[in-house]
A and B are shown apart, each in its own frame.
Chain A
């Protein structure tokens, strides 16, 4: 039996505001527990919510960047449930009148994934379970610093057909939201979270199969792996004539499996009703248009432009726009050193390696576009060799120092002076008569050895092309 995979994703993203969405407490990550709290985000009796304008602006910007229609009127509802980290025992969210609906993300294969809706809501606090996990915990401790941070929830249509597509959708979504400066989208700090709904159906069938909801997906890789596991599991269930149970399953990263969350005694009944403490949010058309006009160029558009303007191929342009900071860095460098492919190569290989080993993002490192451009100029005009350039890059990456100064301070300038090189070549030839003889008898390897000896004497700073040329001339004359 051939099955088609149907996946929909619900992504929660923390909005990059200074203050929380309904009160004036700080959204800063970390800090002493329960030190960024007020009567409202602690759920104390009598406290009331007031909506943060910036949160609305960022949510609107996100919705527009995702191609959604932003509605002039949207309303807030209360979602009622008890949980120790939910202080008022209700979450303020949007329900039947969300901020925005009907957007899309285009994957690299040209396929579009629909976005059902984008709505605003408030974050809960954090439970620290005292034990191996929530099941084993004898008790839990509650910290409300996170409580009330603004979130947007982005719900996709069930258009995704494979775990790989899911991963790409998430990467694109993250890039778009970062470009729009809506959120940091740091999964490790929880500022981007993803739940996945997945079901299988017979290929060609229009009806959706029974879905499971996957939680505890802490990285894009985890999303992909959990979905892969679930595809396998569900298809085995179906092939053996069984039925998929509609349930929430949690991903176990260490064991690489999903397992059912202990089913609650009864189905959740959130008793949504209109939030009486908040009036309907009315957005003026002009304001929405103003935000639209301020949207930065989004990753897909930018990648296309890079292909056109800089002649990058699809793969390279994709890497160059993976984050806004990388794309900005790239363009700034190209402006100073107008050899776009060369810049891209250095960023993709050498710089990327340094970023990975230092676990940094480009904007966190000390490397500056002007320094990378300067470095590439030094290579181009022959001042340093490619291999020395790698050493210089490492230093500039670590210290922020100008490549020129590094080269000067360490005496790394390439020897391109013919006279100087001739002297060295002469001494090398004199000291290695056997190799010279070998060369004469046509042993090609001997030339390589002699070049190596020149390099050894110059600590790698001899201009390789020039060394080659001089050496050959010298040997011919012998």
Chain B
């Protein structure tokens, strides 16, 4: 599949990245290059091959149901760009019509 400007702009929306016209052009070219390079994977028959998700086989480690002391509200909010009433403040969630 080839990638074009339109696809890059769609993907940028999905990834919530504002990109300039100029960047869009550059990203399209560079990503197209990488994807063209990655085409080589299609030369390999992977029928019946299990995807490798974690490189070292391990079983899930489970934690006990124990509550531990964690961050205080002050610590939790310390790095926040904007705070009100002990909470993180964000602009309106629904875009204005």
Residues of A within 8 A of B (CB): 17-19, 23-26, 32-39, 42, 50-56, 82-84, 127-129, 134-135, 137-144, 262, 265-266, 269, 271, 274, 276, 278-282
Q: Which residue of A lies closest to B16 (CB)?
A: A82
Other than the given A38-B71, A144-B88, 15 more pairs (CB < 8 A) read: A19-B66, A24-B67, A25-B67, A25-B68, A50-B62, A50-B63, A127-B93, A128-B87, A135-B94, A137-B92, A143-B87, A144-B76, A262-B94, A276-B54, A279-B59
Question: A38: which of B70, B85, B91 is its contact (CB, 8 Å)?
Answer: B70
Contact residues of B: prevailing secondary structure: loop
- Chain B residues with Cβ below 8 Å from A278 are 60
Contact A50 B61 (CB under 8 A): yes
Q: How distant is the Cα of A83 from the Cα of B93 in the complex, in angstroms?
A: 8
Inter-chain CA distance A129–B90, complex, in Å, is 10
Q: Which residues of A contact B62 (CB under 8 A)?
A: 50-53, 56
Assembly CA distance A163 to B87 (angstroms): 39
Instruction: Report B-chain residues with C-beta under 8 Å of the C-beta of A144.
Output: 76, 88
10 contacting pairs across A/B (C-beta < 8 A): A50-B61, A53-B63, A53-B65, A55-B65, A140-B89, A140-B90, A140-B92, A140-B93, A142-B90, A280-B60
CB A59 to nearest CB in B, in angstroms, measures 12
Given the known interface contacts A141-B87, A142-B90, A265-B13, the answer about A19 and B76 at a Cβ–Cβ threshold of 8 Å is: no
Given known pairs A53-B65, A266-B13, the reply for A279 and B60 (CB within 8 Å) is yes
Residue with the greatest number of chain A CB neighbours at <10 A, chosen from B62, B66, B68, B84:
B62
Among A34, A35, A82, residue most surrounded by chain B Cβ atoms (within 10 Å)? A34
Q: Which residue of A lies closest to B56 (CB)?
A: A279
In the complex, what residues of B have CB within 8 A of residue A26's CB?
A: 67
Most buried by A among B14, B60, B84, B94: B60
Q: How far is the CA of A269 from the CA of B12 in the complex (A)?
A: 13
B20, CB-defined interface residue at 8 Å: no
- Interface contact B89-A34, CB-CB below 8 Å: no
Nearest-Cβ distance from residue A250 to partner chain B, whole angstroms: 12
Taking CB atoms and an 8 Å cut-off, the chain B residues in 72-94 that contact chain A are 72-73, 76-77, 84-94
Known: A56-B62, A82-B16, A141-B87. A35 touches B92 (CB 8 A): no
Most buried by B among A32, A54, A129, A279: A279
Interface residues on B, range: 35 or more
Q: Which residues of B contact A134 (CB under 8 A)?
A: 93-94
Chain A residues with Cβ below 8 Å from B86 are 32-35, 143
Knowing A34-B76, A42-B76, A265-B13 are in contact, say whether A138-B92 is a contact too (CB < 8 A). Answer: yes
Pair A19/B65 contact, Cβ less than 8 Å: yes
CA distance A453 to B97 in the complex (A): 76
Residues on A with C-beta less than 8 A from B67 are: 18-19, 24-26
Known contacts A51-B63, A262-B94; A279/B58 CB under 8 A: yes
Bound state CA distance, A128 and B59, in angstroms? 39
Q: Which residues of B contact A19 (CB under 8 A)?
A: 63, 65-68
Would you list the 10 A-B pairs with minimal beta carbon distance, nearest first? A54-B65, A141-B87, A38-B70, A53-B62, A24-B68, A142-B88, A33-B86, A279-B60, A84-B90, A34-B76
Q: Once bound together, how far apart are the Cα atoms of A82 and B15, in whole Å?
A: 9
Within the complex, which residue of B77, B85, B93 is in contact with A137, where a contact is CB–CB below 8 Å? B93
Q: For residue A279, which residues in chain B have a CB less than 8 angstroms away from its CB? A: 54, 58-61
Decide if B13 touches A18 in the complex (CB within 8 Å).
no
B6 at the A interface (CB under 8 A): no
A18-B65, A42-B71 given; A129·B93 CB < 8 A: yes
Q: How far is the CB of B13 from chain A (nearest CB, A)?
A: 7
Residues of A within 8 A of B16 (CB): 82
Take A33-B87, A50-B63, A53-B65 as given contacts and tell me if A24 and B54 are in contact as well, using a CB distance cutoff of 8 Å. no
**Taking the nearest CB of chain A, how far is it from the CB of B9, in angstroms?**
11
What A residues does B59 contact at CB under 8 A?
Answer: 279-280, 282
Q: How far is the CB of A300 from chain B (nearest CB, A)?
A: 29
Whether the Cβ atoms of A32 and B54 lie closer than 8 Å is: no
Instruction: Given the known inter-chain contacts A33-B73, A55-B65, please indicate yes or no for A139 contacting B92, CB distance below 8 A.
Output: yes
Alpha-carbon separation in the docked complex, A90 to B60 (Å): 20
Give chain A residues whose Cβ lies under 8 Å from the Cβ of B76.
34-35, 37, 42, 144
Q: How far is the CA of A69 from the CA of B86 in the complex (A)?
A: 44
